[in-house]
Amino acid sequence: MSLDKTAAILVVGAGTWGSSTALHLARRGYSNVTVLDAYPVPSAISAGNDIYHLGGTARGLSAAGAISTTGDFPGWKGYFMRSGAGWAHARNALVAAAREAQRLGVRFVTGDPAGKVVTLIFEDNDVKGAVTADGKIWRAERTILCAGANSDQFIDFKQQLRPTAWTIAHIALEEAERALYKNLPVIFHIEKGFFFEPDDERGEIKICDEHPGYTNMVRLPDGTLASRPFAKTQVPVDSE
């Protein structure tokens, strides 16, 4: 169904997908796009608020790749192969997408309570917008849910969405170590995890454990079990 270019479009979440979606809508001429996020960009709880992420065909519909493969971001650095895999600076790509979307006229409302969505508006078997923690009602002709790991708190995904957490370490290197590991290809080791070269800004090397992820299962009022995301500084009990 075609949508008028002036139609109100609401994007819930300004993380990897929300910022990218807003940017692409603005580039296609949609002039009434609003993005809501509970945190300022880059959100403290965004999965994309990280240094390097793998992108490219190795990850299929890769989130990092979704931003890095298209677009024109001055100063953006990354490595991408169309027929293989590469990396993107996930946080910088996210921030660049949000800034560019803003420059093209997208409205970002962030922080708690103004940008924190508490519920979607369900009417006539459809979603007609959202309500934020300050009580404001945001009506829209299209509502695009990009709340990442929190998404299933707004729509019943019939247990098809399971937020999981990964353990990663960012280790700041000395100057000499940065030079030594610069241009290191991404190394994937099934037992020890994968490693990226140090990032340009902070000289941090990222080590990521490769495993299916930790869940935080809680029993919901209706009796079902669901994984609920928690602050990234918390250590899940089953990882101790």
Ligand X SMILES: Cc1cc2nc3c(=O)[nH]c(=O)nc-3n(C[C@H](O)[C@H](O)[C@H](O)COP(=O)(O)OP(=O)(O)OC[C@H]3O[C@@H](n4cnc5c(N)ncnc54)[C@H](O)[C@@H]3O)c2cc1C
Assess contact for 195 and 210: CB atoms under 8 A.
no
Rounded Cα–Cα distance for residues 186 and 235 (Å) = 26
- The CB-of-123 to ligand X minimum distance in angstroms stands at 20
Cβ nearer to ligand X, comparing 6 with 239: 239
Site string for ligand X, 77-116 (x = CB under 6 A): -------------x------------------------xx
Task: Map the footprint of ligand X across residues 139-168, applying CB under 6 A.
Answer: 146-150, 166, 168
Rounded Cα–Cα distance for residues 127 and 234 (Å) = 33
Rounded Cα–Cα distance for residues 69 and 112 (Å) = 32
DSSP-derived secondary structure for 40-99: PSSPTT-TT-SSEEEEEGGGSS-HHHHHHTS---TT--EE--TTSEEEEEHHHHHHHHHH
Q: Does 120 bind ligand X (CB under 6 A)?
A: no
Measured CA to CA in angstroms, residue 17 lies from 46, 72, 77, 109 at distances of 10, 17, 19, 16
- The CB-of-105 to ligand X minimum distance in angstroms stands at 20
Cβ nearer to ligand X, comparing 4 with 185: 185
Rounded Cα–Cα distance for residues 217 and 228 (Å) = 6
Among 7, 27, 32, 59, binds ligand X (CB under 6 A): 59
Among 14, 33, 120, 145, binds ligand X (CB under 6 A): 14
Window contacting ligand X (CB under 6 A); options: 1-9, 25-33, 52-60, 121-129:
52-60
List of residues contacting ligand X (CB under 6 A): 12-18, 36-39, 43, 45-48, 50, 53-55, 59, 62-64, 90, 115-117, 146-150, 166, 168, 208
